[in-house]
Structure 1
Amino acid sequence: MTVADTSAARPGEFRLLRVGPYQVWPPVVLAPMAGITNAPFRVLCREYGAGLYVSEMITSRALVERDEKTLSLIRFAPGEHPRSLQLYGVDPATVADAVKIVVGEGLADHVDLNFGCPVPKVTRRGGGAALPYKRNLLRDILRAAVRAAGDVPVTVKMRKGIDEDHLTYLDAGRIAQDEGVAAVALHGRTAAQMYDGRADWSAIARLKEALDIPVLGNGDIWQASDAIRMMRQTGCDGVVVGRGCLGRPWLFRDLAFAFAGRAETTAPRLGEVAATMRRHAELLAAWMGEVRAMRDFRKHVSWYLKGFVVGNDLRARMGMVSTLAELDALLGELDPDQPWPAAVAVQPRGRQTGSRRVHLPAGWLDSPEVEAPPTEAELAHSGG
């Protein structure tokens, strides 16, 4: 079911997003999310609309060491193109080696580097959103990655900085451009904010003014009209969608409509949502086997059912589902005619951790200069 929306692109208002040799339309990117953006979820989202769909975060060290779990995460479904893979790393040599493996073995067509993760296990090692504070180290990593990638485009995803007193995004963006990065994506929050408050879209506008390469905006895209509004307000070249699509993969259809100038938005009844849940579980089962698939699917249940009137007992049983047959029976207990609860469309989904102190290596903020990567900074495992 679709209903009228009030915001859509005007003919010719926005241009194709270019990431290296790839043209992306609509200019929409699925954000890498650990434990979420596996191949089945990417396929499900692609079934609703086009764009660039990025894998879960892969740790450079784990890839170089051929960690079994990591290698299992670097899998793309037939028809995924371009294949986009996100790498995390803090050591230039290790990142370069990982990129060489990706390119040399044809594992992906596009590499995205993570300099935006705010979680303590990453920042306390000097990685993620903490790393751009060390300008020379950032430059060395980007230079090494771009050289190792050759013709494969390298992009960067980052945050505004560590906190409001240690903003890094403008310097990081300029360094990325100087080192040959194809595009940068900015989440309009600091690491200290985590997912609290509202994203600062004005920072995205300032970064766009400062750079010639494409700039993508990330933060608080809950509905298609938000994407259009962000691009109009900031002048950015595309949007990155993360938590807004959790339990709502049809958001990519709404985005395709909006960028095509169609003032429509999806408002599925509960029966349609149930069909999407079944499709998601089916894709997961085909990819990883039914037992693992149903464990993985459980975390999606609350996102799909957000706002609908569903009894606590039924929600609890769905959260413990173990087979497709069991899921079918539980979905059959839902009221298929229950209308879409419109209020949930603009409510935050997924992680909503409030602001907090950023965990950093000892002395990290003493100077923006660093001669070598922090000791034992590389994570040994990938994904969630």
Structure 2
Amino acid sequence: MEMLSRIAAPMVNQSDLPFRLLVQRYGATLAYTQMLNSDALLNDQDYLEFHLRDLTTEASSTERPVVVQLCGNDIKTIVRAGKKIQNYCQGIDLNLGCPQQSTLEGHFGAYLLGQKDWPLVEGIVSAMHNSFTVPVSTKLRLCEPALKTLDLGQRLEACGASWLTLHARTVSARRRRHGAADLSQVKRLKDNLRMPVVSNGNVRVWDDLEENLRYTGADGLMVGETLLGNPCLFANQVSDPVTISLEYITICREYPETATLATTTAHVKHFIDFQCHRRPWYNKFRTSLGACKTLDDIERLLRVKVEKWRGRAPRIVDADVDDDDFAEGNQPGEVVEDFGSLFSE
């Protein structure tokens, strides 16, 4: 059960290998891939090779467990896709929670939660359970009405799901987080299901983690967008934004072609935004970041311009010098204990 205790959620174009490794350095016990399209895994060779490269790197191991999340609505397609990746992960999850427009148009994700589709969902989960060599799980949102969620959960349990994650909000393509998550529904599942239940929602700071577990009794917590800003959340830390950005870029270099430049740029934006979005220089940073064409460009922006804007000495370093040899600024991995100073620059 330890694997399920602190989980990094599946996030579209943001659950790349370098980010998963980063959050696992800081306390995540399990990380999900982004939602992978089952049909594309079978019919798009470039798509398959990219995601297999992500999963087959030496960093992907039982010491850094990963669950692959699949989406789709065809039993045979999902089973065939899962068999292509089951040897490179510790579990396979069926996405029943994505609210995006593309999932509405394709009729999968959270749009399979209507009761008319329950037989299909049961067929998919049962086939996954009977076909794969790794455990099968499901991540879902609330059914409508919400009380029906337990009924579906019991059906999924009967079909062979090993655990269930509930993002306790109803689906909305336009407003993904409309209102607070209804954690009472997570508690209801935990009180009535035999399989482990993971709670997802309403976590912004460390204290939210403890309060969520205390109230719901869940076996674990899944966190998504909050980790994008603070990947050290599970370690009860807030890292210096430039330091954590450089650490992420270093991992990207160690595992090339597992994160696109667009993904890397998005992560760096989130790291800086989390603590510095109200600084007068933030718009200049966004413009400069958008103009970066390489990892070197992003690193130079962080080391020189961002540090200058923050009133700090540039982190200049020769190509042959390791990050540990820096004389200026915080060292990679260093935790900023004086949180107040971060918000008063």
Change (3 A) 1:294 1:121: closer
SS of match in other structure, 1:34:
coil
1:24 aligns with 2:3: yes
| Aligned with residue 200 of structure 2, among 218, 229, 240 | 218
- How much does 1:293 deviate? 4.4
Comparing 111-120 with 56-65, greater Cα deviation is found at 56-65
Match of 2:58 among 58, 78, 81: 78
Structure 2 match to 1:125:
106
Query: Which of these residues, 256, 265, 284, is aligned with residue 298 of structure 1?
Result: 265
Q: For 1:206, give the aligned amino acid.
A: R
What is the identity, as a one-letter code, of the residue corresponding to 2:3?
V
Q: Is 2:162 aligned against 1:182?
A: yes
Question: Could you list the runs of 4 or more consecutive aligned residues of structure 1 that deviate by over 6 angstroms after TM superposition?
Answer: none
Q: What are the Cα deviations for residues 90-112 of structure 1, in whole angstroms up to 9, with x where unaligned?
A: 11121122223333xx2322111
For residue 202 of structure 1, the aligned residue among 180, 184, 203 is: 184
Q: Is it true that 1:282 corresponds to 2:282 in the alignment?
A: no
Comparing both structures, which one devotes a greater share of its residues to helix?
2
Higher relative contact order (CA 8 A, sep 6+): 1
Secondary structure, in 3 states, of the residue corresponding to 1:24? Answer: helix
TM-aligned CA deviation for residue 244 of structure 1: 0.8
With over 3 angstroms needed to count, the CA separation of the structure-2 counterparts of 1:49 and 1:316, relative to structure 1, is same
Task: Say yes or no: does 1:322 pair with 2:293.
Answer: yes
Q: Residue 255 of structure 2: SS of its match in structure 1?
A: helix
Does 1:42 find its partner at 2:42?
A: no
The residue correspondences of 1:1-384 to structure 2 (distance < 5 A) are: 17=1, 23-24=2-3, 27-74=5-52, 75-76=54-55, 77-80=57-60, 81=62, 82-103=65-86, 106-133=87-114, 134-150=117-133, 152-161=134-143, 164-165=144-145, 168-192=148-172, 193-254=175-236, 266-268=237-239, 272-288=240-256, 293-306=260-273, 307-308=275-276, 309=279, 311=281, 312-331=283-302, 332-333=304-305, 334=307, 335=310, 336=312, 340=339
Q: SS in structure 1 opposite 2:130?
A: helix
Return closer, same or farther for 1:155/1:317 CA change in 2, 3 Å cut-off.
same
For the structure 1 residues 32 and 342, does the alpha-carbon distance in structure 2 shift closer, same or farther, using more than 3 Å as the test? farther
**What runs of 5+ residues in structure 1 fail to find an aligned partner?**
1-16, 18-22, 255-265, 345-384
Alpha-carbon distance change, 278 to 130 in structure 1, aligned in 2, over 3 angstroms: same
SS at match of 1:53: strand
State the partner residue of 1:362: none
What is the aligned-residue identity percentage?
28
| Superposition TM-score, scaled by structure 1 size | 0.72
- Aligned residue number for residue 326 of structure 2: none
RMSD: 2.5
Partner of 2:88: helix, strand, or coil? coil
Q: Secondary structure at the match of 1:246?
A: helix
Check conservation: 2:8, 2:32, Cα contact below 8 A.
yes
Moved more, 278-287 or 231-240: 278-287
Asked if structure 2 preserves the Cα contact closer than 8 Å seen for 1:267 and 1:340, the reply is: yes
Structure 1 counterpart of 2:16, one-letter code: N
Cα distance, 1:248 vs structure 2: 1.3
1:148-184 alpha-carbon deviations (Å, 9 max, x no partner): 014x1001000002xx447642122111110111000
1:319 CA displacement:
3.1
Q: 1:315 to 1:94 in 2, by over 3 A?
A: closer
- Bigger shift: residues 120-129 or 32-41: 120-129
Tell me, what secondary structure is at the counterpart of 1:111? strand
Q: Deviations over 1:209-249 (max 9, x none)?
A: 22110000001211221111111111111000101101311
C-alpha contact (below 8 Å) 1:37/1:54 kept by paired residues: yes
In 1: Cα distance, 2:339 partner to 2:261 partner: 25
Contact residue 84 and residue 110 of structure 1 kept, 8 A: yes
Distance 1:156 1:313, change over 3 A: same
Distance 1:154 1:324, change over 3 A: same
1:91, 1:293 → 2: CA distance? 29
Amino acid at match of 1:123: L
Deviations 1:287-309 (A, max 9, x none): 3459x744332222332122422
Shift of 1:132: 2.6
User: How far is the alpha carbon of 1:47 from its aligned partner?
Assistant: 1.5
1:342: how far off? 8.8
Deviation at 1:317, TM superposition (A): 0.7
Q: State the AA in 2 paired with 1:125.
A: G
Q: Offset of 1:341 from its aligned partner?
A: 5.7
Aligned match of 1:354: none
- Contact between 1:282 and 1:324, CA under 8 Å: does it hold in 2? no
In structure 2, the gaps of 5 or more residues are 313-328, 330-335
Q: How many residues align?
A: 302
Contact 1:56 1:73 in 2 (8 A): no
- TM-score, normalised by the number of residues in structure 2: 0.80
Q: How much does 1:283 deviate?
A: 2.2
Paired with 1:287 and 1:39, the residues of 2 have a C-alpha distance of 8
| Shift in Å, 1:343 | 10
